[in-house]
Amino acid sequence: MTVVYLSRRLRLLAFATLTIALVFVSLGLHLQANPFLVKDINSSTSKSSSIPGSPLKVGSVTFFSAVTPEAGNELWKTDGTAAGTQMVADIYPGSNSSMFTGPMAAIGSTVFFVASHPVHGRELWKSDGTAAGTMMVKDINPGPGQSNPDKFIVMNNTLYFIATAFTNGNKGLWKTDGTEAGTEQVKHLYSINHLTVVGDTLFFAAAASTFNVELWKSDGTTQGTVEVKDLLPGNSSSFPSELTAMGGTLYFAVADGTHGLELWRSDGTNDGTVIVKDINPGTDGSNLRYFKAMGNAVYFSANSPATGEKLWKTDGTEEGTIPISGSTFGEGPYYINSLTTAGNTLYFVGTDATNGAELWKSDGTIAGTALVKDIRPGNTPTAESQISHIIPVGNSIYFSADDGVHGEELWKSNGTLAGTALVKDINPSFLRGLPESLVEMNGIVYFSAEDGIHGFELWRSDGSASGTFMLKDINLRTGNSSLVQPVKVGDLLYFSANNDTAGNELWKSDGTAAGTTMVKDIFPSFPSSVFTPLAAIGSTLYFSAIDSHSNGIELWKSDGTTNGTVLVKNINSSSADSLPSSGMVMGDTLYFSAFTGTQGHELWKSDGTSAGTIIVKDIFPGSGNSSHAKPLIVHNNKLYFTASTSATGTELWSTDGSDAGTAIVKDINPGMGGSNISHIVSFRNMLYFDASDGSSGRELWRSDGSEAGTTRVRDIQPGSDGFVSQITVAGNSIYFTAFRTSSGIELWKSNGTNAGTVLVKDIRIGADSSSINKITPAGNLIYFTADDGLAGVELWKSDGTEAGTKLVKDIAPGAATSSPTHLTAAGSVLYFSATTPENGTELWKSDGTETGTAIVQDIVPGINSSAPAGLTLIGHRLYFSAYTYEYDRELWALNIADTIPPAGGTVTFSVLSPMDPGTPIDSVTFQGWSDSASPLSYAVYIDDTLVSPQGSSTTRHSLPNPAAPGTRAVRARIFDALNNYHDVFYNFNINSPLQIWRRTYFGSTSNTGTAADTADFDNDGIANLLEWATARNPTIASTLPVTTHFNSVTGKIEFTYIRSRAAVTSGTTYTVEWSETLAPNSWSDLDVEEVSVVEVDDYTESVFSRIPAGNLGRRFVRLRVAAP
């Protein structure tokens, strides 16, 4: 019986002369070592805010926090001049911020503040105003944990604050003299608040446990830190608040359970802590708020049944505790807040029925309490002047207010109607300057404001309009050109960019500032023309864009000039969009997908004229139906694309440009399911792609353009879980990622055959996937990103072997990931964007070695990122967009060293295909190659084996071939003087012994007709394959050289046969099988023993086997032969 597993493509004996030519235009450039800004396209000033905050005057300097893009929110200082306004230190390096809204305090010329650091967390810091003098005082909660210092207050040249200690995890009272040794916990307490100094005593609210928040005091020692009085005995808390010093006495508000929230005072003793007055008798309380000391009195807001909410004052006695803004209900202002003193005058915001919430003042008497000015006339909530941020400056005050005309702006008042006025309308365009964070220094007010142009920045004012100006634009940066969609057309780069005048429009660049210009403002007075490139034919770029509200997004073309940038055709009439996409060039014609209201999304073509822009075929006819045709690749003068119909789903189609010549290649997944092809490449005159036939998952397929020639290459993961993606051609192989249960998604390669489709390497060993991405050929290698589970996502390379597939460099060492992106090959050198903790995301390059993989330049120095994107190589120049603090995101370029291989020549292969093993290739000839780096040299490889060494000879004769049969690749390599090289391949075939045997007897190597493996030319009952396997002459009738004998001694059947040694060497398999019934599925080779193999002559050998006899007294035996 003959079993044949053989499928061979017909190959005719031919002597082929193939000439392959490549053309390359070399640009002579003056090479610049580092990346450079090509042009600041959008040079307009960006409205970015530094948001100055938390100001603190320390002598003749004011400290504050401010934001810049390069340093984040950090500590700054100003002496009132632009030159003297500068960052003190970048405490948290890079764009991360160390400063947030937090307390600041000064002792002498030293400022204390809270800052975050990547190593120490949020801790107490100090500064003398210099970078060297800015340092952490103590890492109270060691490591990156936070102690979160808060509630700063100075007593006797010592700073007191609350912080969370590592030892107990709760806040306690701390103090510092500014040294690490002098920074210590005073006492561990809970819920500390309202720290207030009265003489040499620090008063505050706190609890010794999680309950009982009461009044405490401290002299700075642990023993001297005690509860003053348990005002609400038991486990309840009295929650003292509004702690205020006046004279040597502490005034505060507290509810003791009997009186409600009322006014109390304390001299620091139990007995001396008493209620001053029960303003609202009973337990309801008078809701005291906004305490402020002035002179010999404390002023506050309180509510009594008789007066309502009014401004009160106290001298510490019950009799001296009286309302001063009206003694009866409805009289005078109420809703008192924002109490501020300037000289002997108390200013506050009060509300009355006539004026609403406005600015008031008081000298402490009822008669001297009066409205200063109704800044925004009226008494409705929308007619209030929104007074806030009041600060004293001498005997006057400055504040923010809204008069209903200018918005919230800077105001000042000396307490008179005439002297209360707008200082300056800082932001006239946007109705409000929003001054805040006001602080006085040497009679000048410094503040944060927004003028509508610069964002929130630092301002200063001497009280006059002319003397009120932005001190410094701390966060200064230009606009972002929003550069996207870069595309190479000849020697030019086209892209979309925004210059802040025309919006996002079509631009071009030759790599110089002068040569970087807007091609055309396609949609004037509109934010964007929505430029999307399709493809280039010669020097003409085709793209989609919108030029008005009447045309929609349509097909355009440009020759790089304003006049030559025109609408090709309004495909979808009126203002609806045709949305041209997926452009592909075949010959001189552009093919693309476009939409119309009558035909849906279909395949179109254009010769660049309106008349020549037509639909190729309405594949899915009917209004509202769309085939969503998507051009994929041009191959052998046909365009291949995917399209969908209701009958087939999304499948592979082809077209020659005509309606009749547009047809489905094959319904791979029969029915409406669709095979959903996504990646497709051309390799060895075939198309390779990923597809699913509905039963085997997404696997690797190939097609010669016919239905019969469209077949699956290999079912890598049997069942429906198969997944193939990222198909890429490099050298003599197809590379792709594929899923298999045992290895996850890993790197595979294929030569187009089942047997030649193999796993390259299981990078992340086991069932987990290595997350391979961005497969990019460069030279004779492919580069990609992968994660092996140890180094994170890093740069890898492969030469197609397991040993040659390795990590190039752990760019971000350890488990951190550098996440290389935008991989772009320039000859054999790879350029890409990568991220490290030290440099952020910057431009890198690699020659495939660890030492040759390095950052090109840290464009934004330090840990911040320029984030290069859109890498595009044109000649010796690499273009990309990058971000800097000064220019934002703009067009950059790098004049790269000569990594461009030789070009412009031809290679002629004179090859007999197919040929017998050992037959030499007639010749390989190189002609017309050139390169700026001379001289050139040449070499020839067969299957990666060097058969003609590198040298200057341009013709190589009689090149040896390996004996192994099958498809072979001859590779011609052209080197320049810098060892840049270009490979040109030609595939040929070497006959197998079986093919040679067929040719000997039948005159053809093809497995067809009388030479077919299953044919029986001599009619002797023996198929050709068995004749070959047993060294018979298939043209002369004969019998098989087989003998059978039962050995009664061993009780076994002895079976002997003659076989061809050439067939064995070429992979033909022989199996002796037995059956007791001759039923189709009854044959077995169980317990068959191959005893010996004896050489008969140079061509044959004898095989002796034993077979168990069984128990039925009979057994049938056969020889099963399978060809490779």
Residue 341: phi and psi, rounded to 5, are: -110, 140
Integer Cα distance of 461 and 422 in angstroms: 12
Q: How far apart are CA 333 and CA 356, in angstroms?
A: 9
> Which residue matches tokens 């019934």?
1077
- For the beta sheet containing 649-655, the strands, ordered from the edge strand earlier in sequence to the opposite edge, are 630-635, 638-645, 649-655, 662-666
Average pLDDT across each block of 10 residues of the chain; the chain has 1124 residues. List them in order. Answer: 28 33 32 73 69 86 84 87 88 75 90 89 92 92 86 96 75 93 93 95 91 93 95 90 96 93 96 95 92 96 90 96 82 89 95 90 94 88 84 95 90 96 86 80 89 83 93 74 84 85 86 90 83 92 88 93 94 86 95 93 96 96 88 93 94 96 96 91 92 94 94 93 93 93 96 94 94 91 94 95 96 89 91 91 94 93 86 88 85 80 86 80 88 84 86 87 77 84 84 89 90 92 91 91 89 92 88 89 91 91 91 85 85
Q: CB–CB of 1071/1085 below 8 Å?
A: yes
Q: Which amino acid is at 868?
A: P
Q: What does residue 885 show for φ and ψ, rounded to 5 degrees?
A: -65, -35
Name the amino acid, one letter, at 740: R
The Cα 645–Cα 1068 span in angstroms is 46
Torsion (CA) 835, 836, 841, 842 in degrees, nearest 10: -110
Which residues, 6+ apart, have CB-to-CB distance to 435 below 8 Å?
A: 389, 400, 408, 409, 410, 426, 447, 448, 449, 459
- Using the 8-state DSSP alphabet, how is residue 1009 labeled? G
Assigned fold of 994-1122 = Immunoglobulin-like (2.60.40)
DSSP secondary structure string for all residues of 789-841: SSS-EEEEEESSSSTT-EEEE-SS-TT-----EEEEEETTEEEEEEEETTTEE
How far is residue 527's CA from residue 78's CA, in Å, rounded to a whole number?
A: 39
Domain 14-26+905-990: CATH architecture, name and number where available = Sandwich (2.60)
Peptide bond into 914 cis (omega under 30): yes
CA angle at residue 326 from 320 to 332, to 5 degrees? 150
Report the alpha-carbon distance of residue 722 to residue 699 in Å, rounded.
6
In angstroms, the Cα distances linking 323 to 158, 282, 301 are 38, 19, 9
pTM for this predicted structure:
0.60
- CA dist 759 and 670 (Å) reads 29
CA distance 489 to 772: 30
pLDDT at residue 46, rounded to an integer: 61
pLDDT for the residue numbered 333: 87
Report the alpha-carbon distance of residue 676 to residue 668 in Å, rounded. Answer: 9
Which pLDDT belongs to residue 73?
86
Q: What is the pLDDT of residue 2?
A: 33
Cα 481 from Cα 484, distance rounded (Å):
9
For residue 217, is it left (φ>0), alpha (ψ between -120 and 50) or beta?
beta
d(CA 1009, CA 1011): 5
Residue 229, classified by CB atoms within 10 Å of its CB into exposed (0-12), middle (13-18) or buried (19+), is buried
Starting at the earlier edge strand, list the strands of the sheet with 793-798.
Answer: 773-778, 781-787, 793-798, 806-809
Angle at 327 between CA 291 and CA 342, to 5 degrees: 40
Q: Supply the pLDDT for residue 913.
A: 77
Instruction: Please give the pLDDT value at position 301.
Output: 95
Give the model's pLDDT for residue 7: 23
Looking at residue 100, its pLDDT comes to: 63
Phi, psi of 1002 (to 5 degrees): -120, -5
Place of tokens 């002609």: 927
| Contact yes or no for 653/664 (Cβ under 8 A) | yes
- The token duo for 572 is 């979808």
**Nearest Cα residue to 893 out of 29, 34, 240, 263:** 34
Q: Are 893 and 39 in contact, with CB atoms under 8 Å apart? A: no
Q: What are the backbone angles phi and psi of residue 96, rounded to the nearest 5°?
A: -70, 155
- Report yes or no: 1108 and 1118 within 8 Å, Cβ to Cβ: no
Q: What is the CA 740 to chain-centroid distance, rounded?
A: 28
Extract the tokens encoding 102: 């937090």
| Residue 297 backbone dihedrals phi, psi, to 5 degrees | -140, 155
- Please tell me the predicted confidence (pLDDT) of residue 23: 32
* Cis amide prior to 1041 (ω within 30 degrees): no
Structure tokens at 1018: 């001599």
The region that residue 850 occupies, defined by phi over 0 for left and psi between -120 and 50 for alpha, beta otherwise, is alpha
Beta-bridge partners for 835: 841
Inter-CA distances, 738 with 651, 692, 755, 760, 870, Å: 21, 13, 15, 11, 27
Question: What is the dihedral angle through the alpha carbons of 370, 379, 450, 445, rounded to the nearest 10 degrees?
Answer: 0
Within 10 angstroms of residue 405's Cβ, the number of other Cβ atoms is 10
From 838, 843, 841, select the one nearest 857 (Cα to Cα): 843
At residue 568, what is the residue type? Answer: V
Token output for 19: 């000439």
For the beta carbon of residue 514, count every other beta carbon within 10 angstroms: 8
Q: Hey, how many other C-beta atoms are within 10 angstroms of the C-beta on 647? A: 12
In the chain, where are the structural domains located? 14-26+905-990, 994-1122
* Residue 478 DSSP class: B
CB burial of 995-1020 (b: ≥16 within 10 Å; e: otherwise) equals bbbbbebbebbbbeeebbbebbbbee
pLDDT, position 14: 31
Tokens coding 443: 């009679």
SS3 content of the chain, % helix, strand, coil (to 5): 0, 50, 50
DSSP H or E run through 666:
strand 662-666
